[in-house]
Structure 1
Amino acid sequence: MKILAIDSSGLVASVAFVNDGTMVAEYTTNFKKTHSQTLLPMIDTIVQMTGIDLKELDAIAVAAGPGSFTGLRIGSSTAKGLGLALKKPIISVPTVEGLAYNLCGISTVICPIMDARRNQVYTGLYEFKEKEFQILADQKAVSIDEIIEEVNLLGREVTFLGDGVPVFKEQIKEKLKVPYSFAPAHMAMQRAGAVAALAAVYWEKGKIETAAEHKPVYLRLSQAERELQEKKKKEREHGNS
């Protein structure tokens, strides 16, 4: 099975090509360039280096959200455009699940945390039980204090990863009451290879969609939408006073 995977949901831009469970190529950058500048050239580089024919792909996998609103739109529109042009299905992989899959096979609970600003994180809780990926708490947007409390109540050793770790590391160290660790650098951020690997599992379970059906998952309103909502609320309050 041939899968092209894309992840531009956060700070990292990543593209991977997996063929029958073999990682043929993976291109990941974590640099100060917008994903609109990097994603298509990265795909083109992988195509040129490996000689793959995109028409032979079985599916296109994408980290579908949550994450950066701009990054999600770029990744999803790229996957959607390729899917429509090539007439290939899309495998939408929830971003936090894809991030957790970096730690495939680990014995601890996995807690990805992506910085969602305003002292919030995109997060969830996962584990590998008898080699199978299990969801203990589905992905969500909550305060860092809420997920720390949830982990404490779970009472099990946990491994954290994601771009929220450097932001909230001191709070985790101060407030966590269970054994914990932080993923090493090569596993700590989004990787399209993990998205592709999990996508293959979802393919077997029939979790696919057409390119026309695909849309990103935001979990919460964008900053512009929040500001508009707050403005309308103030206008209503002013009108009622």
Structure 2
Amino acid sequence: MYVLGIEAATPVAGVALTEDGRILAERLVNNRRTHSVNLLPMIKAVIEEGGITREQVNGIAVSAGPGSFTGLRIGLATAKTLALAWQVPVVGVSTLEALALPLAAPGQLVCPILNARKNEVYASILRGTTGQPELLAGPLAVGIVELAGILAQWQEPVIFLGDGVPVFKEEIVNLLADRAVFAPQSALLPRGAAVAELGYRELAAGRGLSPLELKASYIRLSEAEVKLAARCRK
């Protein structure tokens, strides 16, 4: 089964093509160009580099949140449009679980964090297993102090990764001391291959969706929705 994985929920644009979970081709761009500019050329490239045609793609996996509202909409719109045009199922996967997957060794506690602005992060707490990582808490939109309180339930070291790390690293160290371990720069950012791997598991189990069924997981309201709700309360 050939699965196309699309990551656009963060400042990183990532695309990968996998065959039964094996990575055939992958591209990652972390620049200031919008995902609407980057994604389609990257998708075209990984399909060509994977040695197949678009007619051979069996399904599409896309990072469905939480994350950047704009990035999520671009990624989901791209995945839905391609799934409709190619007549293949699509599946949304957790941005945080995809971020954690490469570092989720059995027994390892992993906490991916994305900068959610307003002094908060989007976070989940996962424990690695021999299969899919076990979700212990989340996804959440929380401050670092509250997140540290949740992590107090477990005593072992925690690996942090994601674009929230550079922003909140000092605060995390102050709160968790030597329990906090930080992923190397090369593993800090999300990958299209992890999205494709998680998506493959869903698609292989028959849990693919039609494009109209695919929804984003925003976790909290956008700024525009918050302002609209405030006006409606007046």
> Which category of TM-score, normalised to the shorter sequence, fits these structures?
over 0.9
The aligned counterpart of 1:213 is 213
Deviation track 1:140-187 (CA, whole Å, cap 9, x = no partner) reads 212221111111232221100000000000100101156221111121
The aligned counterpart of 1:69 is 69
The aligned counterpart of 1:80 is 80
Contact 1:62/1:75 (8 A) holds in 2: yes
- What CA distance in whole angstroms lies between the structure 1 residues aligned with 2:203 and 2:155? 33
Which one-letter code corresponds to 2:71 in the other structure? G
Task: Using the aligned pairs only, state the percent identity.
Answer: 41
- What CA distance in whole angstroms lies between the structure 2 residues aligned with 1:216 and 1:175? 32
C-alpha distance 156-205 of structure 1, shift in aligned 2 (>3 A): farther
The aligned counterpart of 1:116 is 116
Deviation track 1:87-115 (CA, whole Å, cap 9, x = no partner) reads 10012101111111121425420000000
- Stretches of structure 2 that go unaligned for 5 or more consecutive residues are none
The aligned counterpart of 1:239 is none
Shift of 1:225: 1.3
Residues paired across the two proteins, number: 234
The aligned counterpart of 2:194 is 194
- What CA distance in whole angstroms lies between the structure 1 residues aligned with 2:102 and 2:221? 27
Which one-letter code corresponds to 1:133 in the other structure? P
The aligned counterpart of 1:144 is 144
- Stretches of structure 1 that go unaligned for 5 or more consecutive residues are 237-241
Shift of 1:232: 3.4
Shift of 1:139: 1.2
Q: Partner of 1:220: helix, strand, or coil? A: coil
Contact 2:21/2:196 (8 A) holds in 1: no
Which one-letter code corresponds to 1:192 in the other structure? G
TM-score under structure 1 normalisation? 0.91
Deviation track 1:48-91 (CA, whole Å, cap 9, x = no partner) reads 33342112111100001111000000000000001111110012
The aligned counterpart of 2:14 is 14
